[in-house]
Amino acid sequence: MNNIAPTHFPIDDRLATRWSPYVFSEQPVPRDTLRSVFEAARWSASSFNEQPWRFLVSRKNRDDTHDRIVNCLAEGNQVWAKHAPVLLIGIYRHRFAESGKENKAAPHDLGLAAGQMVFEASRHDLFVHMMIGLDPAAARRTFGIPNDAEAYTAMAIGYRDAADNADASLREREAKPCQRLPQCDFVFSNQFGTSAEF
Ligand SMILES: Cc1cc2nc3c(=O)[nH]c(=O)nc-3n(C[C@H](O)[C@H](O)[C@H](O)COP(=O)(O)O)c2cc1C
């Protein structure tokens, strides 16, 4: 299946062809490619350049980290994410390292870094499926995440599996057309809720 977003205005091809698969090929992700994906996170913007993101990453069949991450995921995510060649947990640090003050932008900056990772991944024909269905307490216990940091999201990364031997219900989920709000529902001017004219 080729999910190309029916955009209302032209956008970069790599944004229009990004989507979240439920079926991944078993093909491993080369080490250097994965490094490029994290390098994209490294060069993301962040409030006061705090770089509050941290990642716990696993490559399938390397050691038990992959299974340990799977066990931290919500059951509904485990069924498909366990097949992904790369799994990671996105973590943010709550406070600025120097002042100890709360960093309100930390989850935002983790998300922005994740966005850059998705974009870089697409350059290597990789797809990413992000997950909020993750048990932060289980991740804390499993991986020794300190109290000043929070496991927030997970990501499954891998190549698309074009072969038709995957679970039919997962294929069905993938095939569902993805709806989006029109811009008039989220780009406002004058008053909240008033569609922007510009
Ligand atoms: C922060 C975040 C959390 C998400 N959590 C889950 C999740 O736990 N399980 C899941 O199947 N999909 C999850 N998704 C994927 C979304 O459902 C998906 O991005 C959305 O339906 C749009 O589809 P698309 O990515 O294919 O365009 C998540 C996406 C984001 C950005």
The three-state DSSP-derived secondary structure of 37-71 is HHHHHHCCCCHHHCCCEEEEEEECCCCCHHHHHHH
Mean local confidence (pLDDT), 155-168: 86
* More reliable by pLDDT, 27 or 2: 27
The model's pLDDT over 4-53, given as tens digits with 9 standing for 90+, comes to 899 999 999 999 999 999 999 999 999 999 999 999 999 999 999 999 99
So what's the pLDDT on residue 76?
97
Reading across the β-sheet that carries 86-93, which strands appear in turn? 53-59, 86-93, 149-158, 127-131
The model's pLDDT over 167-182, given as tens digits with 9 standing for 90+, comes to 888 888 888 888 999 9
Residues 6+ apart with CB under 8 A from 63: none
Closest CA to 180 of 17, 7, 12, 21: 7
170 C-beta closer than 6 A to ligand 1: no
What number does the ligand 1 atom closest to the CA of 22 have? 11
pTM, entire model:
0.96
What number does the ligand 1 atom closest to the CA of 80 have? 11
Alpha carbons 129 and 122: distance in angstroms, whole number: 12
Residue whose Cα lies nearest atom 30 of ligand 1: it is 130
So what's the pLDDT on residue 184?
97
Closest CA to 21 of 175, 133, 147: 175
178 C-beta closer than 6 A to ligand 1: yes
So what's the pLDDT on residue 8?
96
The model's pLDDT over 79-131, given as tens digits with 9 standing for 90+, comes to 999 999 999 999 999 999 999 999 999 999 999 999 999 999 999 999 999 99
Token pair of 14, please?
């790599």
Alpha carbons 133 and 81: distance in angstroms, whole number: 11
131 C-beta closer than 6 A to ligand 1: yes
Q: Give me ligand 1 centre to Cα 129, in Å.
A: 6
State the pLDDT confidence band at 1, using cuts at 50, 70 and 90: low
Q: Give me ligand 1 centre to Cα 31, in Å.
A: 25
Render 123-184 in DSSP notation, one character per residue.
Answer: HTT-EEEEE--B-HHHHHHHHT--TTEEEEEEEEEE-B--SS-S-HHHHHHHHSPPP---GG
So what's the pLDDT on residue 2?
58
| Residue 3 pLDDT > 90 | no
So what's the pLDDT on residue 52?
98
- Count of helices and strands (H, E) across the chain: 7, 4
What number does the ligand 1 atom closest to the CA of 20 have? 26
Domains of the chain with bracketed CATH: 17-163 (3.40.109.10)
28 C-beta closer than 6 A to ligand 1: no
Residue whose Cα lies nearest atom 10 of ligand 1: it is 131
77 C-beta closer than 6 A to ligand 1: yes
